Structure formats: structure tokens, C-alpha cells
Amino acid sequence: MGKIFRNRDKLSYKYIPEKLPHREKQLGIFISVFDDLLSGEKIDFPRTLQFVGVVGSGKTSSSIVGVRKLGEEIRKYGLTLKHIYVNLKIEATSPFLLYKTLMEKVSMSASRSLSAEELLSKFVKKISKLDYLLFLTFDEVDFFVRKESKTPGIIYDISRFYEILNSNGIKSNIVGITFISRSVDWLSYLNPAEASTIGALSILYPPYSKEQIVDILEYRISESLYENTVSEDVLEYIAEITSIYRNGDIRYALDILLYSGIIAEYEGFSKITLDHVRKAIGKNLFYSGDIQYLTLEEKSILLATIRSIQESKRMYVPLSLIRKNYELLTETLPIRRLNEDSFELSIQKLVNIGALEFKGLTRITVSPAVDEKILLEKIKQELKKIAKN
């Protein structure tokens, strides 16, 4: 059997590499905003920035890599920088959950008996006592603002944390705040007072071109695949499809490469061919990042399918085995067990979105884009939230 992968995880959408090819300019602008901090000087007012660009253009990765670089540079001055990253679409779908999430990320419990305003006050008091600097990143802010357009003041409060601290005679330890969005349209949902606190500094992330996608894939291949397992023609084909049909979404290109490699290995090849890529694209490819949007029950069914495949050592498994492993999961974890009809409807939904695939009428496999580690992590996170609530 062919061996292609050295480390599959390094093709995952969750993996943040050390380098971000073709985002050096954006990172350079970001770092330059904090020149005084890099010289060991104190920042009295946090710098507020926007990262704006289409899906899969490197915005989130840039925020993580950029803050990581800042933290490494200021360590020589005895300073510690902690990055608090919040995906507003997933972790904070309301003002209460936003402040609750922020509190939890600075190791502080949040009572449900408190209002959103009370949580904000507690958070501000908590961070004033920390012995390290903070950098706050709020992703999917456009989604949050549209959803919470009738709840004024949220963005205003976030961008004015330092003023709330200073009004109480406390120096702010927040050095930066980044808002990540797909376009600048979200600003139109803000009132003038909120919009003025955001500032005008936007770092733009254009879609990756075909040539840039090839460069990025080559870099990621150097970390994840064995040498000589993929040709330039294959990379150019993936890059062309991605640039034309997916607006340069690099996460899609990485998923296609991962899926193609899995198909090649399964078929006994030691190289990924154009045929393997066509097969991967021909499938209704489930996008690995979509796992986070599934219900707890749907995630559990996917996990049960993976375990059924591992148990039987077969690519396709009967529905009855998946059902058995799903019921075992509901016995060992506090997960609601679906009845027969709901279970089959969930199976059909997972097939429709490409997370599962039928062979014949009763045998099923799981999309290679579904990662067991990520599934378990998401299930644990969801159960933890349920337990706290």
C-alpha cells in the first residue's frame, strides 16, 4: 500500500503554520502598528484594527501568527502577551455569551444569574488584576453585528474597554483589538458612536491567486507529505479549481489535497494523480470547517461512523453498526439519544451535506475531511457548555 502522508494534521484547517506565504505584507503592516511595544514602551491606548477579506484568505491565521510574533518579540523586555481569540459566530451568539466567553478565557467562572452588563463589569475588573498584556481578536464580527443589530453598544463597549478601566483609575493592559470580517459592510450596522471607536485602519486580504495557492500548497506539502508524492500539474489543477470556483479559498484547496491523498493511499498509490483529484472534487466534499456548525447529535453520529469503520476495518460499514456505536456513545456521554426516525433523518442530512456517503442502500462511509480529533474536541466543548448552563 502506498504511503503519502507524513502528518495529515498539517493539512487541517485548524493547523496554524509558522509562515504564511503571500501574507507577509499584511503581517508587516500589523506588526508596524505596534512599533512602540516592540521597543519595550508601554501602550496607553489599545490599537484597534480590522482584518477584511473573503473566506479562506488567511485573516484568522494572520491574527494568530501576528500576535504570536508580537509576544515572542516583547518577551525580551520581561513582558507576557496573551491572545484571546473569540469566534463570535460560534462562541458568542449573544451579548451575555460574549462576556461569559471572555471571562472563561481569562480563567474566570461566570454565573448565569448575572446580566450581560454585570458580566462586562466583572470581566473588566478581572483583567485589571492580570500580570500580563492582552490582545483581543473578534472573528466573524459581521455575522454578530447583523444578528445583534438591535442590541446597541456591544462593539462600542468592546472597543472602549481601556476607557472603562481608566475611568476607574486603572491602567489598561489591553494592547490591541482586532475585528475580523468578510467585508466592511458590517460597519453600516453600527451607530456613529460605535463606528468611530473602530478606527480607520483596515488590513485587506484579497483572494489568493492561482499562483499563490500553488506556493502555499507547496509549503504545506513540505510539512505534511513525503517527497515526490505530488506533481506540479496536480497542484496547478487544484489551484485553478480553487481560484475559479471557490474564490481562492485556501482551506478548500487544502481539503482537496488531503482528500486526494487519502484516496490515493486507499487505492495503493504512492503518488497523488490528477485522477485522484478529480475523484475528490467529484465527491460532495464536506468542508472540514463545517463540523463546528453541526448539532451535538450529528457530531455524535459522525464519531460513531468513524469508530464503526475502525472496528470493522472496512471502508464502508452497515447502518446497524453505526447505530450500535451511536447508542454506546449516548450511554457513556450525556448526549440525547435520537429515536429511529430522527436518527435516520440525521443520517440523511449528513449524506446530503457530504459528511457521509452511501454505497448501495445500507452501507456508509465518512468523508475524509471529518477528523476524529476535531470531532471529539467539539463534542467535549459542547458538553462542557451544557454542563455549565
The mean per-residue pLDDT over the stretch 30-43 comes to 91
Specify the pLDDT at position 321. Answer: 93
In terms of C-beta distances under 8 Å and separation of at least 24 residues, what long-range contacts does 380-383 make, across chains too? 382/296, 382/299, 383/296, 383/333, 383/334, 383/335
Coil, strand or helix at 282: helix
Phi, psi of 373 (to 5 degrees): -60, -45
The CATH number assigned to the domain holding 261 equals 1.10.8.60
Residue 160 amino acid letter? R
Query: Which of 223-237, 281-295, 369-383 has the lowest average pLDDT?
Result: 281-295
- Pick the residue with more confidence: 192 or 277? 277
Q: What is the mean pLDDT of the chain?
A: 85
Q: How far apart are CA 102 and CA 177, in angstroms?
A: 13
Query: Which of 157-171, 179-193, 324-338 has the lowest average pLDDT?
Result: 157-171
How much of the chain, in percent, has pLDDT values that exceed 90?
42
Query: Which of 45-59, 62-76, 205-219 has the lowest average pLDDT?
Result: 45-59
Q: How far is CA 388 from CA 111, 114, 177, 381, in A?
A: 9, 14, 28, 11
Do 230 and 194 sit in the same domain of this protein? no
The mean per-residue pLDDT over the stretch 32-44 comes to 89
Q: How far apart are CA 174 and CA 158, in angstroms?
A: 11
Q: How many CB atoms lie within 10 A of CB 90?
A: 15
Do 225 and 108 sit in the same domain of this protein? no
Do 355 and 371 sit in the same domain of this protein? yes
Contact 33, 67 (CB under 8 A): no
- Given the DSSP bridges, would you call strands 81-87 and 317-318 parallel, antiparallel or unpaired? unpaired
Do 108 and 234 sit in the same domain of this protein? no
- The C-alpha cell that represents 364 in the structure block: 456508509
Q: Does a structural domain hold residue 132?
A: yes
Specify the pLDDT at position 198. Answer: 76
The mean per-residue pLDDT over the stretch 347-365 comes to 79
- Pick the residue with more confidence: 164 or 70? 70
* 5 pLDDT above the threshold of 90: yes
- The C-alpha cell that represents 140 in the structure block: 466573524
The CATH number assigned to the domain holding 369 equals 1.10.10.10
Specify the pLDDT at position 185. Answer: 83
Q: How far apart are CA 349 and CA 356, in angstroms?
A: 9
Number of domains in the chain: 3
Contact 106, 158 (CB under 8 A): no
The CATH number assigned to the domain holding 117 equals 3.40.50.300
Range of 328's domain? 288-388
Q: What is the DSSP letter of 358?
A: E
Do 110 and 164 sit in the same domain of this protein? yes
| CB-based burial, 305-317: b 16+ in 10 Å, e otherwise | bbbbbeeeeeebb
Do 295 and 234 sit in the same domain of this protein? no
The residue behind cell 454506546 is 328
The residue behind cell 475580523 is 180
Do 37 and 105 sit in the same domain of this protein? yes
Do 119 and 45 sit in the same domain of this protein? yes
Phi, psi of 78 (to 5 degrees): 75, 20
